[in-house]
Amino acid sequence: MGETEIKTCQNCKSEFTIEPEDFAFYEKIQVPTPTFCPDCRMQRRFAWRNERILHYSVCAKTDKKIITGFAPDSGLKVYDRDVWWSDAWDPMDWGADYDFSKPFFKQWRELFEQVPHPAVFNTQTVNCDYTQYTGNMKDAYLVSASWGGENLAYASRAQFCRDTFDAFAVYDSELCYEDVNVFKSSRTYFSQNCESCVDCIFLYDCRGCTNCIGCTGLRNKSYCIFNKPYSKEDYQKQISELKINTYTGICEARKRFEMLKRGQIRKYATLIKCERSTGDNMQNVADSKNCFDVLGDARNCRFIQNGTKIITDSYDGYGVGAGVDLLYEAFDSGVDGSRQLFCMTVYGCHNATYCFNCHGCNNIFGCIGLRNKEYCIFNKQYTKEEYETLIPKIIQHMNEMPYIDKNGRVYKYGEFFPAELCPFGYNETAAQDFMPITKEASQTMGFNWLEPKPPEHQPNFLAQNLPDAIDDSNIEITKENIGCLNCGKAFRIISKEYQFLKQFHLPLPRLCPECRHQARLKLRNPMKLWHRQCMCDKQHPHHTGRCPNEFETSYAPERPEIVYCESCYQKEVY
């Protein structure tokens, strides 16, 4: 194995390190070491993924009205999803010869404008028109990046959930509301980093709890309010005094909960059954570094965000997994595949490079919208021999005539797609959710920007005039255009949301779905790690004076939280 190398990022000019094991990985997939730092790579990749902004448009083949992630003036050919998946057209019709007089990325973008794209990237969904990047789903509304589920709304990364609303990263749960990073729970509301909780409100880092309100760091407890145990009878009495069924009661409880949380010790990261790994919000991960929200059976991975089992030997992926190895610089890819490099929505493919929305293909390069093909370049068919002769020539050409963007950044073989070729505004994509920037900054940095359309409806009902308790309202409220308390834009309460809230006596929301989503994101730490020392100076068997344990944590050093290592945390909280 080689030495550690310090490189300067082509984009932000900061230094980043390539470790000896990274060299081994790049060697294995035969790509040069990156020229963008991990954060800039993540930003560039995320800027290609619009998972939540939907537009009305028209199918380019049938004139049918469609709901799509591509803005009508994106200049792309967009088909209704079912038309796209039918045999009524052939993506090979746009096959092109490789042109050695133009940079690869320029040619790729030309093909990208010719080959039709599906309106949305949803598979096996029923009544899920307003969803994006969903699969195996029924009756969902404004749901994105989610797999398996029924009766959901306003959720992102909800995996195998039912009857759940307003969720971010919620898994195997039902009847949940306003949760962030919650697993295997039921009737749990306004909670974060919890597992196996039932009938709870405002929990943080709790496991196996039932009937608890406003608690942090509890394990297998019942009838606790603000971390204080009560008898069952007293608990019921307390609940009615808290008026948890009203908006004022919820606001008051949230205030007390936030205060309690502030004083509580925090664990440096949520890593469950993880070995020799760094990151946050992970389960069953081994020998992986800098990964976030990875659920299960990941080995030898780096810089993976939102991954699901199984992922091996993979770097730089967002929304990837389901059986993949040797994936690099990709999003929404994997699914029983291998060696997917610089891929976007590529499922079940082996040896796919610089491809977009291809499925069940082997040995494809620079292809768009192919299904069950092999040995294709720019959607043109070659023999195995022709393909194998041409690929090294293209790679050489990419290095000799690289694409150079407006800001002078150079894209040779081994770079992800330049963000300026992307059909989305930065503010339409996952990049804005996790690395928000202003319009001015996006222009300086060379990203596109989408001018927001004027709102379709004006509010006719002020959020502050909503009844304090939902029981004092009726279904008629779903007809109102309510003015969001935060941004002032009009939003509606949909009828299944209303029914859900009413069933559990939860107050009507005062914020629009977008402001609610942003508020949930704000509860999370950034997907970034800092090397820190445990802050514990209590009496614990493994240390006298300050605990010497060090770790990688997503709590930045300047943050106010008291951050402990695993052993100190367990002594104090469990």
Q: Which is nearer to Zn ion, 100 or 574 (CB)?
A: 574
Q: Which is nearer to Zn ion, 1 or 487 (CB)?
A: 487
Cα dihedral value 469, 471, 475, 481, nearest 10: -10
Least distance CB 120 / Zn ion (angstroms): 24
Q: Residues interacting with Zn ion, by CB under 5 A?
A: 9, 11-12, 37, 40, 484, 486-487, 512, 515, 534, 536, 540, 547, 549, 565, 568
Least distance CB 22 / Zn ion (angstroms): 16
Q: Which is nearer to Zn ion, 4 or 8 (CB)?
A: 8
Report how far residue 328's alpha carbon sits from residue 316's, in angstroms, rounded to the nearest whole number: 6
Report how far residue 153's alpha carbon sits from residue 358's, in angstroms, rounded to the nearest whole number: 28
Least distance CB 153 / Zn ion (angstroms): 16
Q: Which is nearer to Zn ion, 136 or 486 (CB)?
A: 486
With beta carbons less than 8 A apart as the criterion, state whether 254 and 202 touch.
yes
Helix 232-242 with 247-263: angle, nearest 10 deg = 110
Sequence-distant (6+) residues with CB within 8 A of 180 are 167, 168, 169, 170, 191, 192, 193, 520, 523, 524
Buried b (16+ CB within 10 A) or exposed e, 514-534: bbbbeebeeebbebbbbebeb
Sequence-distant (6+) residues with CB within 8 A of 93 are none
Q: Which is nearer to Zn ion, 168 or 171 (CB)?
A: 168
From 274, 307, 272, 278, select the one nearest 290 (Cα to Cα). Answer: 278
Least distance CB 28 / Zn ion (angstroms): 24
Q: How are beta strands 403-404 and 228-229 bridged, if at all?
A: unpaired
Q: Which is nearer to Zn ion, 107 or 432 (CB)?
A: 432
Helices then strands, counting H and E runs in the chain, come out as 12, 34
Q: Which is nearer to Zn ion, 339 or 520 (CB)?
A: 520
Least distance CB 480 / Zn ion (angstroms): 15
β-pair partners for 371: 359
From 501, 518, 510, select the one nearest 176 (Cα to Cα). Answer: 501
Q: Which is nearer to Zn ion, 501 or 547 (CB)?
A: 547
Angle at 261 between CA 255 and CA 263, to 5 degrees: 115
With beta carbons less than 8 A apart as the criterion, state whether 225 and 238 touch.
yes
Peptide bond into 470 cis (omega under 30): no
Q: Which is nearer to Zn ion, 12 or 573 (CB)?
A: 12
User: 489 is written with which tokens?
Assistant: 């834009």
With beta carbons less than 8 A apart as the criterion, state whether 156 and 162 touch.
no
Report how far residue 78's alpha carbon sits from residue 491's, in angstroms, rounded to the nearest whole number: 28
Least distance CB 29 / Zn ion (angstroms): 21
Least distance CB 304 / Zn ion (angstroms): 18
Least distance CB 112 / Zn ion (angstroms): 25
β-pair partners for 389: none
Least distance CB 119 / Zn ion (angstroms): 26
Q: Which is nearer to Zn ion, 75 or 548 (CB)?
A: 548
With beta carbons less than 8 A apart as the criterion, state whether 367 and 358 touch.
yes
From 148, 134, 487, 522, select the one nearest 319 (Cα to Cα). Answer: 134
Least distance CB 117 / Zn ion (angstroms): 30
Sequence-distant (6+) residues with CB within 8 A of 465 are none
Least distance CB 535 / Zn ion (angstroms): 8
Q: Which is nearer to Zn ion, 334 or 513 (CB)?
A: 513
